[in-house]
C-alpha cells in the first residue's frame, strides 16, 4: 500500500517533524567524512543538517514527491526514491539515521534486516519513531468518528506500527544489533494554528480514509475536532499526544 504525501503541505504545516529531530542528530553525533544514510528522509532538512557537520550523507524515502522536494531544496545532496524494504546495500554506511519514519513501515523485520546489512561492522542505527500509545487519542477519534457517521473502518488501511519498547528491542537484537540505549517517552506535540488538528488529519490520515469521498473525509475531520477538543485543545492550541521510541543500536 502506497502512502501519498503532499511535500509542500508537509514543509509548510508540519515542520515540527524535522525540528524535533534536531536533538536526534546530536545523538547521532555525525563525524566528518562518515558515510550516513537517512531512511525516510522526507524533504531532506535533517539530511542537510547532517551534511553541514561534514558527513557524507544520502537520503532515501518511499515517496517520490518528498524526494523531488528534497532535491529541489538541497541540490548538492544525493537523494533516492526507495522503499526501505527493498534496500539492498551491504556494509556501506558508518551510521543509519531515521526520524519519524519507521512507524510508517509495516514490514518492520525486513526493514531492520536491510539496515543491519547496510551498516559496516561497528556501525550504528540511531532512530526515533512512534511508539506504543502514540496518537492514541487521535486514532480513537478517527475510529469513533467513522462509527458515528456509519462509515466503514477497514483494519488493513491502518498505516502505522507503534511497538512497545520490549517488542522493538527484541526485533533489533534478533537480527544481531546490540541495543545501547532505548527509551519510550511521551512528547506532547503542538500543532500549528487553530486548524492544526484538521491539517494533521489531512496530512497523515489519508491511508485510513482512502476509501471515503472528500465530503466524507471532511465530516470525519470535523467530528474528530469535536471529539478531541476537550482532550487535546488548550490555550488556543492543539497538542497531539505523541509517544516516541528512541534508540541507538550497534552492529557489533
Bridge-partner residues for 60, per DSSP?
39, 80
In which band, very low, low, confident or very high, does the pLDDT at 142 lie, cut at 50, 70 and 90? very high
pLDDT digits (tens, 9 = 90+) for 10-32: 455 445 444 555 589 999 999 99
Average pLDDT over residues 157-184: 97
Q: Classify residue 95 as exposed, middle or buried by CB count within 10 Å of its CB (0-12, 13-18, 19+).
A: buried
User: Under a CB-based contact definition with an 8 Å cutoff, are residues 119 and 251 in contact?
Assistant: yes
**Nearest Cα to 137, choosing from 64, 241, 16?**
241
Q: What integer pLDDT is reported at residue 5 of this predicted model?
A: 40
pLDDT digits (tens, 9 = 90+) for 82-117: 999 999 999 999 999 999 999 999 999 999 999 999
Domains along the sequence of the chain with CATH = 7-251 (3.40.50.150)
pTM: 0.88
Sign of CA dihedral 83, 88, 91, 92: negative
In which band, very low, low, confident or very high, does the pLDDT at 222 lie, cut at 50, 70 and 90? very high
Q: What integer pLDDT is reported at residue 22 of this predicted model?
A: 57
Amino acid at each position: 500500500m502506497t502512502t501519498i504525501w503532499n511535500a509542500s503541505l508537509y514543509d509548510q504545516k508540519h515542520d515540527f517533524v524535522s525540528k524535533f529531530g534536531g536533538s536526534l542528530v546530536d545523538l547521532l553525533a555525525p563525524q566528518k567524512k562518515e558515510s550516513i544514510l537517512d531512511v525516510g528522509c522526507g524533504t531532506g532538512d535533517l539530511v542537510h543538517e547532517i551534511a553541514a557537520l561534514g558527513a557524507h550523507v544520502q537520503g532515501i524515502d518511499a515517496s517520490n514527491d518528498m524526494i523531488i522536494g528534497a532535491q529541489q531544496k538541497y541540490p548538492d545532496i544525493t537523494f533516492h526514491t526507495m522503499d526501505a524494504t527493498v534496500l539492498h546495500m551491504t556494509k556501506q554506511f558508518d551510521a543509519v539515521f531515521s526520524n519519524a519514519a519507521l512507524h510508517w513501515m509495516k514490514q518492520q523485520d525486513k526493514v531492520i534486516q536491510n539496515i543491519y546489512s547496510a551498516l559496516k561492522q561497528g556501525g550504528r542505527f540511531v532512530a526515533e519513531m512512534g511508539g506504543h500509545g502514540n496518537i492514541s487519542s487521535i486514532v480513537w477519534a478517527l475510529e469513533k468518528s467513522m462509527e458515528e457517521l456509519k462509515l466503514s473502518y477497514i483494519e488493513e488501511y491502518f498505516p502505522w506500527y507503534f511497538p512497545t519498547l520490549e517488542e522493538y528491542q527484541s526485533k533489533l537484537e534478533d537480527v544481531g544489533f546490540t541495543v545501547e540505549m532505548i527509551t519510550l517517552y511521551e512528547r506532547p506535540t503542538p500543532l500549528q494554528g487553530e486548524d492544526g488538528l484538521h491539517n494533521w488529519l489531512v496530512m497523515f490520515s489519508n491511508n485510513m480514509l482512502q476509501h471515503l469521498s472528500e465530503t466524507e473525509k471532511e465530516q470525519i475531520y470535523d467530528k474528530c475536532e469535536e471529539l478531541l477538543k476537550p482532550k487535546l485543545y488548550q490555550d488556543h492550541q492543539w497538542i497531539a499526544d505523541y509517544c516516541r521510541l528512541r534508540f541507538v543500536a550497534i552492529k557489533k
